[in-house]
Chains A and B, each alone.
Chain A
Amino acid sequence: MDDERYTHAIRRVTQLWVWTVPILFLVLVLLGLILRAGQAGIIDTDADLFYAVMTLHGLGMAGAAFVAGFAGVTYLLARYVRVNLAVAWLMYALTVLGVVGIVIACLIGRFGPGWYLLYPLPFLAGGAWPHWALGLAVASLIVLGVAWLLGQIDVFRALVTRYGLTNVLAWQYFGKESTGRVEIPPIVLISTAGCLVPGILTTIDGAVLLMLYLFKWFSPALTLNPLLLKNMVFLWGHTLVNITMYLGVAMVYELLPKYTGRPWKTNAIVAIAWNAVLFLVLLAFFHHLYMDFAQPVSLQYIGQVASYLSAVPATVVTVFGVIGQVYRSGIQWRFVPLCFFLGVIGWVIGGFAAVVDSTITVNSAFHNTLWVPAHFHTYFLVGYFLMLWGLLYEFSGSARETLAKIGLWLLVAGAYGFLFMFYLGGALGVPRRFATYSSIPIASLAASSQSIALIASAFVVLLIIGLLFVFGVIYAGLANRSSASKAASPVH
């Protein structure tokens, strides 16, 4: 296949993702609105439906974020390497299959143990969901895991084939500069060290966990160690979410220079930083288990130290890299660079809130309060996803800058209002994952929790209006492009 045909083919599969992701995201946001509105007491949701929707929202958002970013970065990497197109299509097909299975399990089967399926809750539902719903959910997650593992292994293969194993990790930059050194663009290094290597390792961990669940599903008498499984699920879930964030960063590294006119190259500092990330990203998950006092204390310390240190490469290299790109560059703040810049700001704010909560003694006050969804919604909603919308807009070829920017500012205003309510709730000790706050026996806490949810719901409406603008513009761009390409093609 020649280069032009390959580029066209990879564009087609990416285009399908670009059509799919905004709709999926919007539906998942609406599910989130149902949760907050239910907590506010505006709508009446049965507890089993609430928790099933909560599970679907969590699994859906984490999965959609990862797979959309992965597809986007694969598209950008296609400038440098050739991925297997059959694997790319298979990944889409299996993802759809897995998503359908999870939707059926959650909405029809009322499967609702939360995204993390914390052992042994999925097996002790107390009658809330049937055995088949658990089996279907686990099987669907295995399908997704297989799809994403195949995709990651294939991109890793493509990169290593082109550049060599140590070169994709940028180890050639550690020594003195030599004439024969293989230069790699930063997106290759970030994809490998920040995403693919930890991603493949953690997906294998997730696969083992899900296979254990499947064994247990077939043979209920099987008993497993709850602490070990808790470690495994957070190694998988935390790392997946973390590397998703780096997929967004990879997009920024690749595309921001186009708007600033400044090159962004790999050098020794960038190489050291992302190799450090590779290790730190696999160790930070221990901070999810601080309140499990039975966990060895040394692992708790590792969790805090790794969480703190992970802020160093992130800020020193990426944040200062972005500053170096933007500062006095005379950049025109078009929609795409604005998304990237705002996205980095959201990432840093959310990251700071995460580091605060990764302090063991602070976690005693914040663990499983609204502070937790506050920080990860920050680095997703106004961090990673803004970067993704930038990429989607770029891909769509849309030029409706004014409408897109109006949408972006509405989205950002709604999102920060919504997030502020989460943070306020966290500071007040409001529990997360409560179907209703009216059950809280402390009247003042119940009242403030409901008020916070009510205000947050209003901000979500604003954010949805913003999203409709942005997605409308992206879809209009895609539609124009496809009608233009049809017009250009001769009819036989």
Chain B
Amino acid sequence: MTAYYAAIVTLLASLAIIALALLVSSKRFPSAAAAAATSTVYRIRSIYFVIIVGVAIIVLAFTLPITPYSNTYGKGKPDVTVEVLSEMWSWTLTPGPGARSAEGNLVLPVGKVVDFEVSSKDVNHNFAIYNSTGELVAQVQAMPDYTNHLFHRFNVPGHYYVLCLEYCGVAHHAMYSEFDVK
């Protein structure tokens, strides 16, 4: 849902910017000397400065603590571990403690915190999880020489897909995998 909210906020802001531009450039306001017109503009600018700095601080205060860099679902160990190894142009998902495999497919439990240990054998890839309706659920880069830990809790059972979201060569678009959450 984050994407939809962010898109709506951007759309509303864009409309507000266009409305402001129409207002500012409107010929309905009589021409005035620069000093008279700019004194109004600069008064509004002072108010705007206070508002924008205030809004920036508030949004930073709310959003910085919810970064995806730590296990925000609860301190301590995750419930499930999955090793994710990428290479041009395939994913290997190996179930660790708490996960299992059924008919060659990874199966993860609902409602448990999963630690995806993501790395790459060759170039940069991006481990992006989509649900079956095509919504992007979570993502992290898969890098050579480093292991990135993506913590995620699946609250909805179903079939999930892994796409690559970092351009990685001629078959980048065809690099995918799948798993189930039951």
Contacts and interface: CB of A to CB of B under 8 A. Distances in A.
B3 interface: yes
B161 A304 contact: no
Contact of A47 (B49, B53, B146, B171): B171
Contacts of B59: 308, 359
Interface string A271-299: 00000000000000000000111100100
B136 interface: yes
B144 A120 contact: yes
Contacts of A431: 128, 163, 165, 173
Contacts of B145: 225-227
A427 B178 CA distance: 22
A312 B14 contact: no
Contacts of A125: 169
Given A324-B42, A329-B37, A300 B173 contact: no
A294 B148 contact: yes
B24 A323 contact: yes
Interface in A350-372: 352-353, 356-357, 359-362, 364-369, 371
10 contacts: A51-B172, A124-B122, A300-B67, A304-B63, A308-B56, A333-B25, A345-B18, A352-B10, A423-B11, A429-B136
B3 A312 contact: no
A72 interface: no
A483 interface: no
Interface string B18-55: 10010011000111101011101110110011001100
A426 B3 contact: yes
A250 to B, nearest CB: 21
A175 interface: no
B102 interface: no
Contact of A320 (B6, B34, B41, B168): B41
Contacts of B11: 423
Interface in B67-115: 67-69, 88
Contacts of A263: 34
Contact of A327 (B24, B126, B148): B24
Contacts of B173: 47, 431, 434-437, 439-440
A118 interface: yes
A445 interface: yes
Contacts of A51: 167, 169-170, 172
Interface residues of A, number: 83
Interface of B: 2-4, 6-7, 9-11, 13-14, 17-18, 21, 24-25, 29-32, 34, 36-38, 40-42, 44-45, 48-49, 52-53, 56, 59-60, 63-64, 66-69, 88, 122-124, 126, 128, 130, 132-136, 138-141, 143-150, 161, 163, 165-174, 176, 178
B170 A118 contact: no
A435 B147 CA distance: 28
Contacts, number: 231
A392 to B, nearest CB: 22
A259 to B, nearest CB: 12
Given A112-B170, A312-B56, A439-B173, A118 B124 contact: yes
A352 B13 contact: yes
B3 A427 contact: yes
B6 A428 contact: no
- Residue in B10, B25, B145, B150 whose Cβ sees the most chain A Cβ within 10 Å: B10
A163 interface: no
Given A327-B29, A330-B31, A359-B59, A291 B52 contact: no
A364 B138 contact: yes
Given A120-B123, A360-B67, A293 B150 contact: yes
B170 A126 contact: yes
A285 to B, nearest CB: 16
Contacts of A230: 124
A365 B148 contact: no
Nearest to A121: B123
Contacts of B44: 320
A308 B31 contact: no
A210 to B, nearest CB: 18
A311 interface: yes
Nearest to A345: B21
